[in-house]
Structure 1
Amino acid sequence: MTSRTQTTFAPPVMQARRWLADVTFSEDTPLINVSQAAPVDPPPEALRDAMAEALKDPETHLYGPVLGLPALRDALAARWSAQYKGRVKPENVAITSGCNQAFAATIAAICSDGDTVILPTPWYFNHKMWLDMSGVTAVALKTGPDLIPDVQAAKALITDTTRAIALVSPNNPGGVEYPAETLQAFFDLARAHGIKLIVDEIYRDFDSRDGPPHGLVSDPNWGDTLIQLYSFSKAYRLTGHRVGAIFASPDLLSEVEKFLDTVAICPSQLGQKAALWGVEHLDDWLDRQRREILDRRAAIHDNMPLLTAKGWRLMGCGAYFAYLEHPFAASSADLAPKLVSAIGVLALPGTMFTPADDSSGERQIRIAFANVDRAEITTLFARLASLDWPLATPTSPA
């Protein structure tokens, strides 16, 4: 008998951390860890002070509403309405224990055993893992060289069992920002087929574009099709406090509430109060963080010619990620562990983001650059350029 957890793979980030065992790094070549996107710095001091003050409130230590603090739901509804130029009400908002739980709750609310959900590849591995553990089949929608999913290819994959298409923009792992017209086309496709479009926008605060990244919420009936996911982990460095959000129709959130009440009862009160304080006070601080991330993105492009000359290709870059195609003969599954001992770099192989029968991941590596500054990015690229491993045989033209 196979349990639900046995239907899926081990957590990739935890697997990668084990590659560090028994490896000693010198002062001249310290470890450069670009394996995980979570910020390692604490929240800003003013936010930590506000959290310390919140701890004095007895209600902080009690159960709260299952769908989240009303004040936070109100604030998010107002922010979403303004930023997306649409109408979002508090009853369209649910607070969750992180964005992964937001996805899990959404799938529990819309899917049953044997259903299918379309995921563009390379995919975010935790989405695939949750679908596996839910008895839901992930249908791979392979993207092209630009990593942008094609709506006509998605249309060909829709069947009677399809319940949703799940997109991540800005993308993890690819970093690409999906064009507004791409998201609109997927919205129209989902609505035409009576399925949901899930858009995970956890990295939206670091989008390089000014203004709303899409116009989906301006549709007066957006809730019949669209489900948006969000998190405060990246925005305010609240990773350990697990505060995320779902934006959806009230009818769907009534189903989500059943899941949340059973799994966690309510999100962390302290985390929610921290998120609310951030929404009310940290816009300028968050804008500075965005500009810093955009400068690191620029540093990737500035240093890329060094790798291009060695046969590497930049497939996507944005938010926290650069997605690279390497030139070597060996699979990235074998190369990534070797990078640790060879040049002191911890990165994730593309095989962690692709189906087992998709060989494209063998040529790909994800770089998460949120925790490395411009100087460290320069060092990272110099180390990668120093590799002289056997090269892959060039593919002959068809």
Structure 2
Amino acid sequence: KMTLDMLGIEARPLPLSHEAGFVPDPVAAADLIDEKVRAIVLVTPNNPTGAMYPAGVVGAFQKLCADRGIWLVVDETYRDFISKDMPPHRLFTSENWQETVISLYSFSKAYAIPGHRLGAIVAGEAVISQVGKILDCVQICPARAAQMALPWAIENLRQWRSGALETIQQRIGAFAETMRCADGWEIDQIGAYFAYVRHPFEGVASTQVAEALARQCGVLALPGGYFGPGQERHLRVAFANVGVEAIADLGQRFDALTAAAPFAGADVWRKKNEQA
């Protein structure tokens, strides 16, 4: 979006809601398309929410884009960390997918080498030829050594990647379990690296909640407000590099902030009040 802003190109947001699990609605997207729209961008698994979009939803967006003559750009940076219980999308089984779909992928995340910034673009030949022109003018390039190592890694680290997925799933389960004791906090989405957590302090900015959580409870999280409008009730919690043992007491830390009620005049929503 920052690049588009600098180029004077409108990035039109597609509203999402926690009630829908932050999964985008193709019907709502269709209402935003006019003669100026050239592409729809989906990020799945999502950052910051962690939402993993069902194959049916992704397929519906593909059909929408094909019908309207625009591109579907699917950012699949965290694709290797999708739950095994969730079927993958079938974008590339379409006979004419090259006319609609552009897929973005990150080797950096899949092989835990984020500093090397290695990725891939899957698209039709016409698109790749144009992308090549842009890359030829960019002054930063992935290091050659890391590029040479990738073919070996793809063939020989499949078991390691499978183990990494299992570890992530364990951490997802541990985070969901520990947050059960956090009074007023709700996990609205969770998956891959992130959980998107709704805080209980009505009317308090997410930046204030994140600062209090860090200073008083020793937990670092990104404010939802950093990711766009309408996100002030949420925090993004990243757990991919935190062991299950360290995750186990997080719920108590979140709950301690609720009990401290650090924000003067704020209405605190609690689970027990909802049940009452």
Aligned ranges 1:300-319 → 2 under 5 Å: 300-307=175-182, 310-319=183-192
Out of 69, 78, 93, which is 1:194 matched to? 69
Q: CA deviation at 1:270?
A: 1.1
Which residue of 2 is the match for residue 320 of structure 1? 193
Instruction: Give 1:233's aligned amino acid.
Output: S
In 2, Cα distance between the equivalents of 1:301 and 1:204?
21
SS in 1 for 2:103: strand
Q: Please state how far the C-alpha of 1:257 moved relative to its aligned partner.
A: 0.4
Shift of 1:212: 5.1
Q: Tell me if the contact between 2:101 and 2:123 (Cα under 8 Å) persists in the aligned partners.
A: yes
Give the superposition deviation at 1:267: 3.4
SS in 2 for 1:178: coil
Query: Aligned residue for 2:105?
Result: 230
Q: Distance in 2 between matches of 1:366 and 1:210?
A: 24
1:130 CA displacement: 2.5
Measured after TM superposition, the shift of residue 392 of structure 1 is 2.8
Counterparts of residues 90-101 of structure 1 (less than 5 Å): none
Please say which of residues 274-283 and 199-208 is displaced more in the overlay.
Answer: 274-283
CA-to-aligned-CA distance 1:312-368 (integer Å, 9 cap, x gap):
11110000000000001311122212222111121100001113xx3xx11100001
Which residue does 2:131 correspond to in 1?
256
Q: CA deviation at 1:221?
A: 1.1
* Structure 1 Cα separation of the partners of residues 163 and 6 of structure 2: 39
Q: Distance in 1 between matches of 2:44 and 2:121?
A: 15
Within-5 A mapping of 1:23-172: 128-145=1-18, 146-172=21-47
Cα distance in 1 between the residues matched to 2:168 and 2:50: 12
Q: CA deviation at 1:268?
A: 2.2
Offset of 1:203 from its aligned partner? 0.5
CA contact (8 A) 1:236 1:275 kept: no
Give yes or no for the alignment of 1:182 onto 2:52: no
User: What residue is the counterpart of 1:345 in the other structure?
Assistant: 219
1:278 shift after superposition = 1.0
RMSD of aligned alpha carbons: 1.6
Q: Give yes or no for the alignment of 1:271 onto 2:271.
A: no
- The residue aligned with 2:256 is 386
1:335 aligns with 2:205: no
Asked if 2 retains the 8 angstrom alpha-carbon contact of 1:187 and 1:216, the reply is: yes
Pairwise CA distance, 1:375: 1.3
SS of structure 1 residue aligned to 2:241: coil
Confirm or deny: 8 A CA contact 2:77 2:104 kept in the other structure. Answer: yes
| Residue identity opposite 2:211 in structure 1 | P
AA aligned to 1:341 is: R
Distance 1:318 1:392, change over 3 A: same
Deviations 1:4-33 (A, max 9, x none): xxxxxxxxxxxxxxxxxxxxxxxxxxxxxx
Quote the Cα distance in structure 2 between the aligned partners of 1:259 and 1:381: 46
Q: SS of 2:50's equivalent?
A: coil
Q: 3-state DSSP class of the match of 1:383?
A: helix
Structure 1 residue 187: deviation in Å? 0.5
Unaligned runs of 5+ in 2: 270-276
Number of aligned positions between the proteins: 261
CA distance in 2, matches of 1:268, 1:291: 30
> Partner residue of 1:287?
162
Q: Which residue of 1 aligns with 2:116?
A: 241
One of 204, 207, 210 as aligned partner of 2:82? 207
User: Would the aligned equivalents of 1:198 and 1:228 in 2 still touch at CA under 8 Å?
Assistant: yes
Q: Given residue 138 of structure 1, which amino acid in structure 2 is its aligned partner?
A: A
**Match of 2:23, SS?**
coil
Q: Deviations over 1:118-152 (max 9, x none)?
A: xxxxxxxxxx2222223221111111221011111
The Cα offsets for residues 82-128 of structure 1, whole Å up to 9 and x where unpaired, read as xxxxxxxxxxxxxxxxxxxxxxxxxxxxxxxxxxxxxxxxxxxxxx2
User: Superposed, which structure 2 residues align to 1:214-225 within 5 Å?
Assistant: 214-225=89-100
Aligned-pair CA distance for 1:274:
2.1
Residue 210 of structure 1 and its aligned partner are, at CA, apart by 4.9
Q: Counterparts of 2:166 and 2:148 in 1: how far apart (Å)?
A: 26
Instruction: Tell me the TM-score normalized by structure 1.
Output: 0.63
Question: In 1, Cα distance between the equivalents of 2:28 and 2:166?
Answer: 35
Letter in 1 for 2:236: R
